[in-house]
């Protein structure tokens, strides 16, 4: 056994490549979307129960915390969509090289940030 192996890796000191970061964020955005769907279905249920329920849900969307939650949900959706398109292109054989994967990952990050900021402007 090699005794020079690291025993405890400090994850915060490891510099991840862009493709790894995109992959991790894609998984996180999927989990966030799963949770947000439950929240939105509860709000849909409340809004369909009565006119008062609809008015309550509509009034809730006027608050700052609700707008932040909506923006976070849209951010997760946008990021997941953009990263998913990258995966579909890679399934078609586009961007499978090391350099293509790095460029595709950087493009995902840039496009997602721009679209998320535009969604934020649209919500406010």
* Burial category of 80 from C-beta neighbours within 10 Å (exposed 0-12, middle 13-18, buried 19 and up): buried
Tokens describing residue 2: 């090699």
Contact 62, 100 (CB under 8 A): no
Q: According to the annotation, is 26 in a ligand binding site?
A: no
Question: Closest Cα partner for 70 from 108, 119, 30?
Answer: 119
Q: Report the binding-site residues for heme.
A: 80
Q: Report the binding-site residues.
A: 80
């Amino acid at each position: 056994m090699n005794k020079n192996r690291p025993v405890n890796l400090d994850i915060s000191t490891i510099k991840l490549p862009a493709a790894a970061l995109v992959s991790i964020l894609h998984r996180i955005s999927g989990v966030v979307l799963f949770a947000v769907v439950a929240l939105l279905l509860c709000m849909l249920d409340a809004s369909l129960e009565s006119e008062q329920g609809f008015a309550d849900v509509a009034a809730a969307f006027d608050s700052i915390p609700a707008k932040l939650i909506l923006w976070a949900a849209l951010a997760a959706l946008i990021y997941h969509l953009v990263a998913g398109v990258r995966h579909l292109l890679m399934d078609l054989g586009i961007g499978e090289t090391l350099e293509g994967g790095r460029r595709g990952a950087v493009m995902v990050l840039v496009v997602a940030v721009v679209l998320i900021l535009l969604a934020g402007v649209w919500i406010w």
